[in-house]
A and B are shown apart, each in its own frame.
Chain A
Amino acid sequence: NAGVTQTPKFQVLKTGQSMTLQCAQDMNHEYMSWYRQDPGMGLRLIHYSVGAGITDQGEVPNGYNVSRSTTEDFPLRLLSAAPSQTSVYFCASSEWGDQPQHFGDGTRLSIL
């Protein structure tokens, strides 16, 4: 019973490098989201998807791209990493709108 799986759990990048954070869920959930967690700021929504082929921006989308080619996967791409993107990233999913979200275990990303 995997739920929401995020890989990797930790990553260190240099400024300017690109990277994809992976998120997969095995619950056949339509809704998936990416959040970032910074000290003293709670979690903030980056991008979300309401189904395969449909994505939209959240509160803090700049510097990040997403795509949703399958129901199961929702990768988050950093095209040119910046130190301001140092954070803990959470992926979440829910069966349909208005349902509580299931969260992955997070990815701690450090950008030097």
Chain B
Amino acid sequence: AQTVTQSQPEMSVQEAETVTLSCTYDTSENNYYLFWYKQPPSRQMILVIRQEAYKQQNATENRFSVNFQKAAKSFSLKISDSQLGDTAMYFCAFMKTGTASKLTFGTGTRLQVTL
């Protein structure tokens, strides 16, 4: 079974600064996907970014980028130029390929962006 660990329950960052959220995972699989989901106070689950394990290049989506270290089983999320609207819970998730889109989530990191 896979496990996903987010060791930072809460983080805070000032507006316009950069913050990095950590995620590690444990798996014996070689083919999988990793995701970061954002959950604002509205409770919606919003996909932020996706990384395929077979790709060495780190995924980027505008101000969001990841540092994917497959050998170390690490998948951190970097948010640049933080905005107040980035305040949310952030969940790291793992999905083994060919498993009907079943996700294994970490426990989340609560990010507060301050003025």
Which chain A residues have a beta carbon within 8 Å of chain B's beta carbons?
Answer: 31, 33, 35, 40-45, 48, 50, 56, 58, 88, 90, 92, 94, 96-101, 103, 105-106
Contacts and interface: CB of A to CB of B under 8 A. Distances in A.
Contacts of A40: 107
Give the top 3 A-B pairs by smallest Cβ distance, nearest first. Answer: A103-B45, A42-B105, A94-B101
A44 B105 contact: yes
Interface of B: 4, 33, 35, 42-45, 47, 50, 91, 95, 97-108
Nearest to B99: A97
18 contacts: A33-B102, A35-B105, A42-B105, A43-B103, A43-B105, A48-B100, A58-B102, A88-B43, A92-B103, A94-B101, A98-B33, A98-B97, A98-B98, A100-B35, A101-B47, A101-B101, A103-B45, A105-B43
Contacts of B35: 100
A18 to B, nearest CB: 25
Nearest to B95: A98
A43 B104 CA distance: 8
B9 to A, nearest CB: 8
B102 A42 contact: no
A105 B98 contact: no
B34 to A, nearest CB: 11
Contacts of A45: 102-104
Contact of A42 (B33, B99, B106): B106
Contacts of B43: 88, 105-106
Contacts of B97: 97-98
Contacts of A43: 45, 91, 103, 105
A48 to B, nearest CB: 6
Given A42-B106, A100-B50, 18 more contacts: A31-B100, A33-B102, A35-B103, A35-B105, A40-B107, A41-B107, A42-B105, A88-B43, A90-B45, A92-B45, A92-B101, A97-B97, A97-B101, A98-B95, A101-B47, A101-B101, A103-B44, A106-B44
